[in-house]
Amino acid sequence: MFVIFGATGHAGRLTATRLREAGLPVRAVVRRADQAKELKATGCEIAFADLMDLASVTKAIEGAQAVQMICPVPSGHADPEHAMHTMIDVAAQALRANPPQHVLAISDYGAELDMNTGITRLFHYLERQLSASVPRLTLLRSAEHMQNWSRAIPVALATGMLPGLHHPLTKRFPSVAAQDVGALAATLLREGPPVTATRIVSIEAMVRVSPMDVARVIQQEAGREIVARELPRNQWFSVLTRGGLSAKHANLIVDLYDAHNAGHIDIEANVTGRRFGTTALADVLAPLVRQAVLDAQ
């Protein structure tokens, strides 16, 4: 049995789908009954769990041959760092008590760094806790997801300006489509446990992008001028909190982009398991732009 946490997300859903297409048994872990319909239609067994509840996580992994663990940053939480630490601790405790043959964790570029990298330091904690909890672990470090630009698209369409926290705007950075992460995760799970205790695999798209590239794609799809603009560093916190994030969440993002702009967040130099996604930026952004246009009408 392959147990997939985060099965309703872009990556987790693709992992579950690919494993089912291969005829493998999948238990998709969701939080609510309304999230289960499409997954059940593919033949997935459904388990309900709250990542902060040890009993439900323990029950979800019963009888698992392999587990894919995704601990999402809880965007609506007043203290997302504390909440994510709790989720990670719960997962580690459940996996220690009943370790499967293989655990694959979706992690982040820069997770190897023991320094203040904002959100990425949460994935450093994830890697550390799981490495000490399971006998065979694959860390799938993902570049920034292209889907993250969905939050900025409505602003760009309304104002003609795409605000950028990546400085300078011309700097190209690694990104990847979430579905490519999910597809690779399915492949790695099918390959089985690593030979060594921990295997590190990275994934990014074949072409690195800049905020100017993102603005160009939005402009082409929307049919109106969109210009990328550096959001001044002293405005980041206020813009993020006005957008609905808690102060602690905003600080995590500020610290993350400070680390990005300082050149700290990239593929780890000694990673040998480097993979590349095949989905282009335009393939991800075009439907997001079309939906944002419809929503604005």
Which residue type, as a one-letter code, is found at position 110? Answer: G
Q: What is the mean pLDDT of residues 21-28?
A: 98
Task: Quote the pLDDT of residue 75.
Answer: 83
- The model's pTM is 0.95
pLDDT in tens, 108-144: 999 999 999 999 999 999 999 999 999 999 999 999 9
The answer to whether 29 and 197 have CB atoms below 8 angstroms apart is: no
Compute φ and ψ for 272, nearest 5 degrees. -95, -25
Alpha helices in 35-146 (DSSP H): 37-41, 54-60, 80-97, 119-131
Residue given tokens 């987790």 in the structure block: 12
Distance of alpha carbon 282 from alpha carbon 198, whole angstroms: 34
Q: What is the mean pLDDT of residues 152-163?
A: 95
> Residue 102, SS3?
strand
Q: Domains along the chain?
A: 2-143+176-204+266-277 (3.40.50.720)
pLDDT in tens, 173-221: 999 999 999 999 999 999 999 999 999 999 999 999 999 999 999 999 9
Instruction: Tokens for 135, please give them.
Output: 């006998």
Beta pairing, strands 175-176 & 161-164: unpaired
Distance of alpha carbon 262 from alpha carbon 30, whole angstroms: 37
Distance of alpha carbon 210 from alpha carbon 164, whole angstroms: 10
